[in-house]
Structure 1
Amino acid sequence: MIVTNRRISFDIIGDIHGHADQLKALLFDLGYSRNGNGFRCANRKAVFVGDFVDRGPAIGEVIAIVRAMVDAGDALAVMGNHEYNAIAFHTRRAGKHDGWFRPHSVKNLKQHQATLNQLSTKEIVDTVDWFKTLPVAIDIGAIRVAHASWQTQGIDCINRAIATSGQFTPDFLTLAEDSDSDLNLAIENVLKGPELQLPAGHSIVDRAGQQRGSVRIKWYENGVGRSYRQHHLGSDEVPDVRIVDSDLASFQTYPRDASPVFFGHYWLTGTPSPLASNVACTDYSVAKGGKLVAYRWDGEQTLSADKFHWVRKENMDA
């Protein structure tokens, strides 16, 4: 976690997934200019919410831009679940023949295939090494950024494990991939978002085409008295069945007087707007034909729909 009291304006940019043309168009639209392989804007800094790889047509270029901006001090970046998955996919489990921390299953290969196709073996090794240096969350003092949700206890748990086992080392991953560990739950919540189990007999097919028995929730709000559909965060079709209130006992809400928090991950659609007065998602499904979105933050505690900027794929093709 990075903490600074320095006053500067930030542009928080959503999941890119290899769409370099949209990224460049958005940065130019926001007033950034080329600076080597990256971009720079006087008195502003970009903050990337993760998910740079997989799905899109120009993954290498996206990584080059983001990495150059971070190295030059023109941007900050947090790890997304796709960066974490890439680390696990390319890290061997000791003592297991052809064993990896993320199995090379048909499902996982399909999700990661665009990256495998576009990057050389040397580039993948270098890129994964860079992913390991990324924080899972950034607390800038006036704003907070994480890929899927802000969970203080979970973030602290991950950072303690890094201090003990190293930055996403095999020892770290061994504990992180143990489904009974606190670290596993922390990774799931911070990088993939808190989920609520659906009642028996119910399931959904998410936007990636996977059947799921749980749904991502509006972790920043109290779900008591709501249905799964009302408390779901994302654009999946979810059953309109009331949640058993006791199932929500372990979930915490995000305080309305806390620093504004920004994240990606949820494949939102429609016109971007804050989810709460101090909560905003900047993932609007560019990898599924949607928009690459940024929020221009200039010190406000109460977030505004007017501060969202975006580019659409169809505008790039015009």
Structure 2
Amino acid sequence: MQGGLEGYDLIGDVHGCGATLGSLLDRLGYHQRGGVYRHPRRKVIFLGDLIDRGPRIRLAVTIARRMVEEGEAHIVMGNHEVNALAYSHRAPGSPGYEWLREHSLRHNRIIKETLEQYRDHPQEWEEALAWFLDIPLYLELDGLRVVHACWDQPLVEELRREHPDGRIDEAFLAASAVPGTLAFRILDRLTRGTHVPLPEGVEIQSGDGFTRRSFRAHFWAREPQTWGDVIFQPDNLPGDLENRELSPEERSYLSYYGPEQPPLFIGHYWCEGIPALPAANIACLDYSAVKFGRLVAYRWSGESRLDADHFVWVRVPREEQARPQPWEIDFD
């Protein structure tokens, strides 16, 4: 690290908890000057999913965007930023499809709070969308790696060939809306991770109120044998499905990130409880802040073996009066 930089503070999925984000930055020693949070010796890396679900979405985006634009932070794109971009971009020449992301009841519900909170600020929303498109899908800097959901080395290399800085464009976004394309596989794996389909007729009633027909799988088991070896989500599998053997096809579809690889930071997976490391070189920082969990940061200072003592977090209590009070940073 150069220029007197001591390290990075990596922050998990904010999901519109803007006031909580301000509280976490305060706890980490960042102070607001000129409408921007700054630290004399450290920078932030946001892991994506700034938007949707939470009460202060505009505030969360404003804090992060200002920090990034002022050089006080980096960010990678989350699947919710991808969703917003596809939801807001018309499908070019696709009969029967008006938008890259269909305006279905399910998709409308996911982005509902974001659109409502930007309704009276249409220009600000257009600027936010333009900024989302400029966010890279992954970062490699100073000996660490960052991606929202899954580091898949072959797909990262494919992305690098056409987009060396990890930033996509509108053509890539349009191509990613078509299942089976390389753009779809890159965007899906890096921002949504791996999903293993459930057996026919089996569903999970997820904690976020959605019915799911697949489960989220992680990518750091060297030789996984069963579904239970790779499941990575708070929702349990029905019956004894955790004992079900992975088929050869399922096993070949999984990514793998070995212990010899650089430290990797991810979000996305709705962890619960006290933050812990799933592997010695991997930290997941999504601890369900918007569902009254924790908004979590990891203070990284160059170590190759991560340390759970470096987690810092702010709890989000259910009682409204105990939460960080709403406030606005100075927009002028």
Is the TM value for this pair above 0.5?
A: yes
| Residue number in structure 2 paired with 1:273 | 276
Paired letter, 1:234? Q
Aligned to 2:251: 248
Answering whether residue 91 of structure 2 is matched by residue 111 of structure 1, we say: no
Per the alignment, do residues 214 and 287 of structure 1 end up closer, same or farther by CA in structure 2, a change over 3 Å counting? same
What residue is the counterpart of 1:67 in the other structure?
Answer: 65
Which aligned segments of 4 or more residues in structure 1 are displaced greater than 6 angstroms?
Answer: none
Q: Say if 2:19 and 2:324, in contact at 8 Å, map to a contact too.
A: no
Question: 1:54 and 1:26 mapped to 2: Cα distance?
Answer: 19
Partner of residue 144, structure 1: 145
CA contact (8 A) 1:78 1:138 kept: yes
SS of match in other structure, 1:11: strand
Aligned partners of 1:184, 1:56: CA distance in 2, in Å? 27
2-structure distance, mates of 1:279, 1:115:
30
- Structure 2 vs 1, CA of residues 138 and 5 (structure 1 numbering), >3 Å: closer, same or farther? farther
Q: 1:226-246 deviations in whole A, cap 9, x for unaligned?
A: 3x2342011112132322341
The farther-off stretch of 32-41 and 12-21 is 32-41
- Which residue identity is paired with 1:277? A
Q: 1:249 aligns to what SS in structure 2?
A: helix
Alignment-derived partner of residue 216 in structure 2 = 216
| CA spacing shift, 1:242–1:222, aligned 2, 3 Å | farther
2:46–2:74 contact (8 Å) kept in structure 1: yes
Give the CA deviation at 1:210: 2.4
Residue 5 (structure 1) shift: 7.2
CA contact (8 A) 1:20 1:62 kept: yes
> Counterpart in 1 of 2:26?
28
Over 3 Å counting, the alpha-carbon distance change for 1:104 and 1:223 in structure 2 is farther
Q: Give 1:155 shift.
A: 2.3
Of stretches 291-300 and 174-183 in structure 1, the one that deviates more from structure 2 is: 174-183
Alignment gaps of 5+ in structure 2: 326-332
Distance in 2, Cα, partners of 1:42 & 1:287: 29
Instruction: Find the partner of 2:8 among 1, 7, 10.
Output: 10
Q: 1:157 maps to what in 2? A: 158
Evaluate the alpha carbon distance shift between residue 279 and residue 269 of structure 1 in structure 2; reply closer, same or farther with a 3 A threshold. same
Alignment-mate amino acid for residue 284 of structure 2? C
Please give the alpha-carbon distance, in whole angstroms, between the structure 2 residues aligned to 1:303 and 1:245: 32
C-alpha distance in structure 1 between counterparts of 2:90 and 2:128, whole Å: 16
Aligned residues: 311
Residues 266 and 223 of structure 1: CA distance in aligned 2, closer, same or farther (over 3 Å): farther
CA contact (8 A) 2:136 2:168 kept: no
Cα deviation, 1:38-63, whole Å, max 9, x if unaligned, reads 21111111000000111111111111
Q: Provide the residue aligned with 1:205 in structure 2.
A: 205
SS in 1 for 2:253: coil
Structure 2 equivalent of residue 48 of structure 1: 46
**Residue identity matched to 1:219:** F
Instruction: In structure 2, give the amino acid aligned to 1:85.
Output: N
| RMSD over equivalenced CA pairs, Å | 2.0
CA shift, 1:159, in A, is 4.1
Following superposition, the deviation at residue 191 of structure 1 comes to 0.2
Contact 1:161 1:183 in 2 (8 A): no
Any stretches of 5+ residues in structure 1 without a counterpart? none
Q: Between the two proteins, what is the percent identity of the paired residues?
A: 33
Aligned to 2:328: none
d(CA) in 2 for partners of 1:157, 1:175:
15
Compared with structure 1, are the counterparts of its residues 161 and 203 closer, same or farther at alpha carbon in structure 2 (3 Å cutoff)?
farther
Aligned partner of 2:76 in structure 1 is: 78
CA–CA separation in structure 2 for the residues paired with 1:167 and 1:231:
29
Deviation, 1:284, is: 0.1
Superposed CA offset, 1:283-317 (max 9, x none):
00011111100001111111111110100122536
Structure 1 residue identity aligned to 2:59: E
Give 1:179 shift.
0.7
Q: Which residue is 2:329 aligned to?
A: none
Structure 2 match to 1:316: 323
